[in-house]
Amino acid sequence: MRDSKFQSCFETETQKQGASQHMKIIILLVGLLLLISLTSKSNAQGAPPTTGSEKLAELRTTLAESKNADDRASAARLLAQLGDRQSIKLLVKSINDTDANVREQSILALGQLRAREAVTPLIDLLKTSTEARIKAASAFVLGLIRDRRAVEPLIAELTSAEPLLQRNITVALGLLGDKRAVEPLLSLPHDPDHQTCAPIAIALGQIKSDFATVKLFEWLNSDDFDVCRNAAIALVMVGGKRQVMPLIGVLKNQNAVSRGSAAYALGLLNDKRAVEPLIALLRDSDIRVRLNTIDALGRLNDRRAVEPLRFFTLTDDNAAIVEHGKAALARIQNARTN
């Protein structure tokens, strides 16, 4: 459920300049986290390889001996997909292959296999490789393996000027969930396009450190949509319903972006204490605030919101307000009849 919430948080802002690129990043991150979750469950269940030992042996031979780099890379991918843990030593050796694609595919394969044996070699690559894509793949996989030995080396590389590497390190630190990463993550500057704030917010949410809440509430006062909205999402992840009353307080903020983001977050938290404050916000002068408020009330499924929503759906001359109002009313009605 969390993944769909992240993806939908930008639905009311698709017309904002530059939002489409940011949406691609957030959807990519959410899809990545969903993939991580699904593969983790599969590995936990110990799913057996779907092919015979002869085929696995053939793939290992290809990875070790083939003169064709594409074949070696393909073999690395397949060995991971088939869950062949006997190939881990060979894959570790292949992270130093002469071909960059083979190196990258071997690194990713070790991540899919959650190979703790690869942690030290991958940390070495993170520190010494001169190839951005290899360093980025190593960082991501260290997060997948979830071994705390990687925390300090990842933090040491966090200020890299390479965007992909910094983003992968941020994601990895979130996956590791270690509180040592909170201050370094909070100290990262937002880039001019604010493409860093989404992975930072998600990582802070995964780490769940109360220390981050002060800084996140500062971000929530930003007049930049991306910074503000991601702070609200992170606050939901970090503090859960402990954030309800502080977020209700933000509904009175003079900053419209802050009010709208707080309204959205309150809808995610599904706490009835927010119903009356949100109903009062339906008269807000900013259309984006009203849209987020309507959506939040729809999620809260409280009958106190029915008449106010019906009134604004019938009287507002903005098509988006009418559309969102109808959807919220239908959601509440469906919840009451089911």
What pTM does this model have? 0.69
Two structure tokens written together for 295: 């959506």
The better pLDDT of the pair 54, 210 is held by: 54
In the chain, what percentage of residues exceed pLDDT 90?
Answer: 57
Question: Could you tell me the pLDDT band of residue 91, with boundaries at 50, 70 and 90?
Answer: very high
Kindly list the structural domains of the chain, giving each domain's residue range(s) and its CATH number in brackets, ordered by start: 2-245 (1.25.10.10), 246-338 (1.25.10.10)
* C-beta pairs of 202-205 under 8 Å, 24+ apart in sequence: 202/6, 202/29, 202/33, 202/171, 202/174, 202/230, 202/233, 202/234, 202/237, 203/170, 203/171, 203/173, 203/174, 204/174, 204/234, 204/237, 204/238, 205/174, 205/233, 205/234, 205/236, 205/237, 205/238
To which residue do tokens 């809440």 refer?
Answer: 213
pLDDT in tens, 243-259: 899 999 999 989 999 99
Q: What is the mean pLDDT of residues 255-278?
A: 93
Q: How far apart are CA 213 and CA 205, in angstroms?
A: 10
Q: How far apart are CA 247 and CA 281, in angstroms?
A: 13
Q: How far apart are CA 203 and CA 274, in angstroms?
A: 26
Q: How far apart are CA 55 and CA 39, in angstroms?
A: 22
| DSSP-derived 3-state class of residue 315 | helix
Do 66 and 46 touch, CB atoms closer than 8 A?
no
